[in-house]
Structure 1
Amino acid sequence: MPEVVISEFMDEAAVGMISARHDTLYDPELVDRPDDLAAAVQSARALVVRNRTKVTAALLEASATLQCVGRLGVGLDNIDLDACKARGVAVYPATGANDVAVAEYVVTAALMLLRGAYTAPEDVASGAWPRQRLMAGGEAMDKRLGLVGYGAIARQAAKRARVLGFSIAAFDPFLPEGDPAFEGCERLELADLLKTSDVVSLHVPLTEKTRHMIDAGAIAGMKRGAILINTARGGVIDEAALAEALTSGALGGAALDVFETEPLTAEAGAKFSGIANLILTPHIAGLTAESNVRVSSVTAENVLKHLEKTA
C-alpha cells in the first residue's frame, strides 16, 4: 500500500522526488473515483491534491495513518481544515508558487477587455474589416485598478499594473492601518473602491462572508462600463447578476477563471451564452508551465520534510 497518494496532476519531476523516497501512488484521475481514493489513503501517510479533490472528514476517517495533505495551489476551501486539525493532519499549501501566473492573467485580462480589439479574428479574415467597431477601446494609462483583497497575488498584479499606467486602490479589512503594503496604493472601503475603479479584480477566499459579496447591489454600485475579473473563487460573484449587467451594458466586460459550479456544466454556463465582452477560462489562471513546476516542487518538498520529520 502506498505511503503517498497523489490524486491530481503533478509535475513528473516532483512526483519522482517523492517516489524516490516513498512508495507512491500517482493517479491524476483518482480525483474522479472517490471510492478508489478512499481505499488508496487507508494506509497512506500523505495525500497530495489540487482544488478538485475534496478532503472531507469522511475521507480523513478512511485513513488511520494520514499525517499531512500537500495542496498543489493556495486555495483551501476544498479541504476541511477543522477536520484536519482535529485529527492532527498538517496542511501545506504551495504559498507563493503561482502568484506570478495569476497576476499576469489579471493584467492581461484587464488590457484585453479595456481595449476590446481581440474578439473578431473571423471578421477580419473574411474581409469584413470591422475597424469602426474595434477602434474605440480604452488604454490602461490613468485608469484605476481596484483590488478586493490585497494579499500576495494582488500585490504582484498591482506591481505589474503600475508599469502600464494604472493607479492602484485596494480593500482589505485584515491589513492594519499603516501597513507598508499600502505604499503607492490607496486604501478604500469596498463601496468606494467599486464606485471609482475602472477595473476590479477579486482576491479573496470563499467564506460565508465573501459568498456573493459581488451581487446585484454591489455591481450596481460599480462605475458604469467597468471591468470585473475573478481569479479567486466562483462563489464570490452572483453569476446571474453579472450576466445581466454585462448584457445590459452596465459593465464593460468580465473575466472569470472560477465558477460556482466546477467543472462548469453546459447548464450552469448557459447564462453566459452570447455575451461577447466576456473571457471564460477553466480555473487555469495559476497554471503555466513554469508555475506547475514551482507549485509541484514546493509541494513535494513540504511533504518530504514532514514525512522525514515524523519518521
Structure 2
Amino acid sequence: MKVVCTSKLIEFSDEDLRAYDGLDVEFQVIDGSSEEAILAGAADADALIVVVEEISRTVIEGLGRCRAITRCGIGFDTVDLDAATEHGIWVSNVPDANYREVAVHAIALTLAVQRRLPALDAGMRSSGWADWSVPGVHRPDVQTFGVYGLGRIGRRVAEIAGSLGYTVIGHDPAVRQPDVAQLGVELVDGEELLARSDVLSLHVPLLESTRNVIDGAALARMKKGAVLVNVSRGGLVDEVALAGALRSGHLFGAGIDVFESEPVDPANPLLTCEAAVLTPHAAHWSEESVDELKRKVVEESARILRGEAPRTPVNRLPNHGSVG
C-alpha cells in the first residue's frame, strides 16, 4: 500500500511510522502545494496525510484507490468532506494532540495584550524605560472572559481563565449547563457573550455558518475596551473590520494567531495595528505536541488501512453506522 504525506512541513522518522508495521506500506512525502502536484504524486495512494493542503473535489476525484485522508491537526476545512464521502473515503483528524498548547497560547495572547507586553518591551529596548500608566489595564478579578465554543480547547481555556480570576462565560449551542458546571462557566446566548465579554476568545471550527462570525456588526456589539483572541481559524474574523475597531479605540487590543490567508498578505491591515499582538499560526507548537501528533496521525491512517473504523472521523460513510 502507498501512503502519501502531501507536505514537507513535518518530517516523519522511522519511529514515527511504526504503526504501519505489518502493513507493507510505502511512505512518501511530496510538495502538495497545488492540485496538480498532489495528483502527480498521490493519484495511486491508498491514504493521504494532509497538513495544510487543499484537498478539493478535483483532487478527490483523481484519487483512484484512496481510503483515508487524515489531517495533521484539528481543523479539516481544507478537505471537501462531501466529495470524500461520495467516494467512500474516510476523513479523520487528530483533535487531542495539541489542545493544551492552543489553550495556553490563547491565554498568553490575552495577557500579552492586556498587560501591553509588546509596547513595554519596545519602550525598554528603545530608551531603557516605558510608559506603563496607560488606561485600560485591569486585573482579571474584575473582568469577564468569554469563550465562544466549548469543545476540548475551549474548556481548557475556560479552566485556565477561571484560575486566573476571570469570571468565565461561554456560548456553544451543543453544550448544556451541566456539562460545564464544574468548570464554573455560565452559559449565555451569542448576544450576551458579545455584550459582556472583556475578553472574547474564539474556539469554533471554520464552517459556512461561522465564516466572518465576528464581523463589523459583531465587533460593534462588543464592549468598548474589550479584547478579541483568535487561535482557531482566520476566516472566523473580518480582518478589515477588526483593524477598524482597533484603530478607532473601540477594542483595547487583539491577539491573533490565525489569518484569512497564510502566510499573511503584506497588505493585511492588522500588520499595522499596534494594538494587535500577532503570531504565525504557532499556537499548536511544542516539541511534545508535534511528537504526539505524528504518532497519532500515523496510527489513525494505519487503523483505516487495516479495515478498522477511524478513532476520530469527521465524516460518516454509508453502511458504516455511527462512528466517533
Superposed, 1:27-176 pairs within 5 Å as 27=30, 30-50=31-51, 52-133=52-133, 137-175=137-175
Q: Deviations over 1:222-243 (max 9, x none)?
A: 1111110111111211111110
Which position in structure 2 is the counterpart of 1:283?
Answer: 281
Tell me the residue number matched to 2:299. Answer: 301
Q: Structure 2: which 5+ residue stretches go unaligned?
A: 309-324
Give the alignment of 1:182-197 within 5 angstroms: 182-183=181-182, 184-197=184-197
The one-letter code matched in structure 2 to 1:287 is W
- Could you tell me which residue of structure 2 aligns to residue 226 of structure 1? 226
Q: In the alignment, what sits opposite 1:258?
A: 258
Letter matched to residue 214 of structure 1: I
Deviates more, 1:35-44 or 1:62-71: 35-44
Q: Whole-Å Cα distance in 2 between the matches of residues 219 and 136 of structure 1?
A: 18
- Aligned AA (1:44): A
Confirm or deny: 8 A CA contact 2:177 2:186 kept in the other structure: no
* CA RMSD in angstroms, aligned pairs only: 2.0
TM-score normalised to the size of structure 2? 0.87
1:227-280 CA-to-partner distances (Å, cap 9, x unmatched) read 10111111211111110110011001101111122232113x2x1243111111
Distance 1:182 1:80, change over 3 A: farther
- Identity level (%): 31
Cα drift, residue 132 of structure 1:
4.2
C-alpha spacing 1:282/1:125, structure 2 compared with 1 (3 Å): closer
Supply the distance in 2 between the matched residues of 1:243 and 1:135 (Cα, whole angstroms): 20
Query: C-alpha separation between the residues in 2 aligned to 1:131 and 1:157?
Result: 30
**1:122–1:145 distance in 2 versus 1, CA, 3 Å:** closer
Give the residue type in structure 2 aligned to 1:92: S
For these two proteins, the number of residue pairs brought into alignment is: 303
- Quick check: 140-149 or 117-126, which moved more? 117-126
Q: Which residue of the partner structure matches residue 28 of structure 2?
A: 25
Q: Is the 8 Å Cα contact of residues 112 and 277 (structure 2) preserved in structure 1?
A: no
What secondary structure is seen at the aligned counterpart in 1 of 2:113? helix
TM-score by length of 1: 0.91
Distance across 2 between alignment mates of 1:224 and 1:192: 14
Maintained 8 Å contact 1:115/1:139: no
Partner of 1:212: helix, strand, or coil?
A: coil
1:203 aligns with 2:206: no
1:5 counterpart residue number? 4
Deviation at 1:308, TM superposition (A): 2.1
Q: Does 1:181 align with 2:180?
A: yes
Deviates more, 1:255-264 or 1:216-225: 255-264
Unpaired runs of at least 5, structure 1: none
**Cα distance, 1:115 vs. partner?**
0.9
Spell out, residue by residue over 1:78-107, the C-alpha distance to the aligned partner (whole angstroms, 9 max, x if none).
011111111110112002111101100011
Query: Which residue identity does 1:83 align to in structure 2?
Result: A
> How far did residue 288 of structure 1 move?
2.0
Deviation per CA, 1:132-157: give whole Å up to 9, x if none.
45697332233211011111100011
Contact kept, 8 Å, 2:177 with 2:187, in 1: the verdict is: no
- Give the AA of the match of 2:26: D
Give the SS at the match of 1:47. Answer: strand
Report the Cα distance in structure 1 between the residues aligned to 2:199 and 2:147, rounded to whole angstroms.
Answer: 8
Distance 1:80 1:25 in 2: 22
**Aligned equivalents of 2:196, 2:297: Cα separation in 1:** 39
Query: What SS does the corresponding residue of 1:118 show, helix, strand or coil?
Result: helix
